[in-house]
Amino acid sequence: MECGCYLKNLSDRVFFILLFFLLFMSSSEYTPCFYCSEYSKIAQDYPVNFATKDVDSFTPRCFLHWEYECSKCGKDIHFNGISWCPTCKKFTCLSCANEQMHQERFLTYDYYYSIPCQECGNFNPALDYAEYNGTHPYQIGDLQPDEEIVIWMPIYKNQLKSQEFPHKAWGVERILALGRRVRFTRLDALGEYSPKKTWDANAPVWEPLFRDGGDYHHKYKILPEVFRLLDIHENETILDVACGEGNVARALTKQGGQVTGIDFSKLLDFAIERENEEKLGIQYLKLNAEKLTERFAKESFDKVVCNMALMDIENYETTIEQIAHILKEDGIFVFSITHPAFAWPTCTSFRVPGDSQRNEDKLRVVVDYFDERPTLVHYWDNPGLYFPRTISSYLNELIKNNLVIMEVCEPKASEELVKKFPREAYKDDDIFPDFLIVKAMKKSKL
Ligand SMILES: [Zn+2]
Ligand SMILES: [Zn+2]
Ligand SMILES: [Zn+2]
């Protein structure tokens, strides 16, 4: 018994020593420097210093990778924005001189700045490249660091691992790597993918979502504005372009309109099925939104609506041109789209950590607003196609076709909506627009 007790006490003591050690190790003093850690993945001989600066941030930094005081303006500047002149023994920062940019791959970067010395005018690289080059003032002994740090000497720099760019440690790539995200792929050409095929494949998954008027976004943010802007009067002729399973067409008919709905996908079969069940007098046609003039005469509609579809249409220029053609003079065109700047996939939103259910953990990052390549998106089992365009692309297409903008709307969640749907709206829809809705009027003679 005595022996067992002794062992138990011993294991307790070992446990407490281990616990103390772990707590000690995890204290801020032993947080590795972010820059050192990233460099060490490329240069295997790179020593990782402990961070003593910005320790509680996403980028804890060691003394070497901290800030240096510009000898001209006296400001403390990040090491990647300041150069050292070995001749004049002076620091010069980016703000105090006109830098040059050099595209060259080194460590985890693909460019560096060289900054002219404030005294002699000679160009010296910023300290990130200087360190890689072995000319950092700590490496050449011009200065002594105030804190104890291990200085890397780039003896083996020819053996560095080659890197993909953009490097995942920096910028948007780094931010995106913090969360989990739904993947998408930019396509240089459509190839095997066609909008019709992808919509046909997704129709059975899509239709049930709209049987009852759509999700939160459609019901409370998009459709109320689309209907307000359309302002339907009794017996007006309305064309619903890319009507899908017909939820907008049905609503507009109930508001008094004489509605024709066109769509090229299998979604239209669901619309026709609904019409057969409950006759509202909607005329449905299986037709591509880029071929409107094949079926409709010039100036044959009072109003045209294209709800949440233009960003899915490959040749939106053709569609807008044809809509202008079939609209009567002073006719109204209303379209809604996912927001070209703030909605996915142009702007990627994700949470950090990726499985957090709180919206304050949600970040939005604009990846590349100007990239208008077709994009394969993976919302469902089958991929979908999305055609990203800038706001100016859309608006200029209206202007080109004498469609005069009457109102632009970016729905914002009201206080009431925020209370009712906090998961969708709080710190989300109340601070970012997910959708862009435009009302335009056809004016042949301006
Ligand atoms: Zn460091
Ligand atoms: Zn300066
Ligand atoms: Zn100098």
Query: Which among 114, 132, 163 is the end of a domain?
Result: 163
* Nearest bound ligand to the CA of residue 90: 3
Confidence of residue 164 (pLDDT cuts 50, 70, 90): confident
Dist. CA 48 → ligand 1 center (Å): 6
* Structure confidence at residue 340 (pLDDT): 97
* Closest listed ligand to the CA of 122: 3
Ligand 2 center to 118 CA (angstroms): 9
List pLDDT tens digits, range 255-297: 999 999 999 999 999 999 999 999 999 999 999 999 999 999 9
Two tokens, residue 295? 């079926």
Answer with the residue of higher pLDDT: 213 or 114.
Answer: 114
Q: How far is the CA of 131 from the centre of ligand 2 (A)?
A: 20
CA distances from 413 to 349, 410, 429 (A): 17, 10, 5
Quick one: 193 and 102 in the same domain? no
407 and 327 in a common domain: yes
CA of 53 to the centre of ligand 1 (A): 10
User: Same domain for 189 and 312?
Assistant: yes
pLDDT value of position 5? 45
Question: How many angstroms separate the alpha carbon of residue 19 from the centre of ligand 1?
Answer: 28
Sheet strand arrangement including 100-102: 100-102, 112-116, 123-125
For 413-424, the pLDDT digits (tens) are 999 999 999 988
Query: How remote is the CA of residue 178 from the centroid of ligand 2, in Å?
Result: 33
Asked if residue 55 is part of any domain, the answer here is: yes
Task: Tell me what the pLDDT averaged over the chain comes to.
Answer: 91
One domain for residues 216 and 81: no
Quick one: average pLDDT of 157-177?
86
Q: What is the pLDDT of residue 1?
A: 37
User: Are residues 268 and 326 both part of a single domain?
Assistant: yes
Do residue 153 and residue 274 come from a single domain?
Answer: no
Query: Domain of 296: which CATH number?
Result: 3.40.50.150
Q: What's the chain look like in SS3?
A: CHHHHHHHHHHHHHHHHHHHHHHHHHCHHHCECHHHHHHHHHCCCCCCCECCECCCCCCCECCCCCEEECCCCCCEEEHHHEEEECCCCEEEEHHHCCCEEECCCECCECCEEEEECCCCCCEEEEHHHHHHHCCCCCCCCCCCCCCCCCCCCCCCHHHCCCCCCCCCCCHHHHHHHHCCCCCEEECCCCCCCCHHHHHHHHHHHHHHHHCCCCCHHHHHHHHHHHHHHHCCCCCCEEEEECCCCCHHHHHHHHCCCEEEEEECCCHHHHHHHHHHHCCCCCEEEECCCCCHHHCCCCCCEEEEEEECCHHHCCCHHHHHHHHHHHEEEEEEEEEEEECCCCCCCCEEEEECCCCCCCHHHEEEEECCCCCCCCEEECCCCCCEEECCCCHHHHHHHHHHCCEEEEEEECCCCCHHHHHHCHHHHHHHHCCCCCEEEEEEEECCCC
Assigned domain for 142 exists: yes
CA–centroid distance, 49 to ligand 1, in Å, is 5
Count of domains observed in the chain: 2
72 alpha carbon – ligand 3 mean position (Å) = 12
Same domain, 303 and 427: yes
- State whether 233 and 382 are in the same domain: yes
Query: Virtual CA dihedral for 92, 36, 33, 348, nearest 10 degrees?
Result: 90
Looking at the chain, how many residues does it have? 446
Asked if the structure places residue 20 within a domain, the reply is no
Q: What pLDDT shows up at residue 29?
A: 58
- As a whole-number percent, the residues of the chain with pLDDT over 70 amount to 93
Ligand 1 centroid – CA 269 distance (Å): 62
pLDDT of res. 166: 85
Q: Residue 359 domain-assigned?
A: yes
From ligand 1's centre to the CA of 58, what distance in Å? 14
Distance CA 142, CA 71 (A): 15
100 in the same domain as 231: no
Mean pLDDT of 224-231: 98
For ion ligand 3, residues whose CB falls within 5 Å: 85, 87-88, 117, 119-120
What are the tens digits of pLDDT across the range 236-259?
A: 999 999 999 999 999 999 999 999
pLDDT tens sequence across 19-74: 554 444 555 458 999 999 999 999 999 999 999 999 999 899 999 999 999 999 99
pLDDT at 435: 97
Does some domain include residue 40? Answer: yes
| pLDDT given at position 173 | 83
d(CA 87, ligand 1 centre) in Å: 26
Whether residues 436 and 313 share a domain: the answer is yes
Ligand nearest to the backbone CA of 72: 2
Q: What is the pTM of this model?
A: 0.84
In this prediction, residue 2 has a pLDDT band, given cuts at 50, 70 and 90, of: very low
274 and 420, same domain (yes or no): yes
383 domain-assigned: yes
Average pLDDT over residues 311-325: 97
Least confident of 6-20, 99-113, 123-137, 315-329: 6-20
State the ligand closest to the CA atom of 86.
3
Question: Do 93 and 126 belong to one domain?
Answer: yes
Check pLDDT > 80 for residue 17: no
Distance from residue 77's CA to the centre of ligand 2 (Å): 8
- Across 28-32, 87-91, 97-101, 283-287, least confident range: 28-32
Instruction: Tell me the C-alpha to C-alpha distance, in Å, between residue 204 and each of 244, 269, 270.
Output: 11, 10, 9
What pLDDT shows up at residue 11? Answer: 54
Q: Six-digit token pair at 262? A: 């066109």
Residue 18 has pLDDT above 90, yes or no: no
Query: Is residue 169 assigned to a domain?
Result: no
109 located within any domain: yes
Expressed as residue numbers, the domain containing 273 is 184-442
Q: Within 10 A of 158 (CB to CB), how many other CB atoms are there?
A: 6
Q: What is the pLDDT of residues 342-384, one digit of tens each?
A: 998 899 888 888 888 899 898 888 888 999 999 999 877 788 9
Q: Which ligand is nearest to the CA of 54?
A: 1
pLDDT attached to residue 348: 86
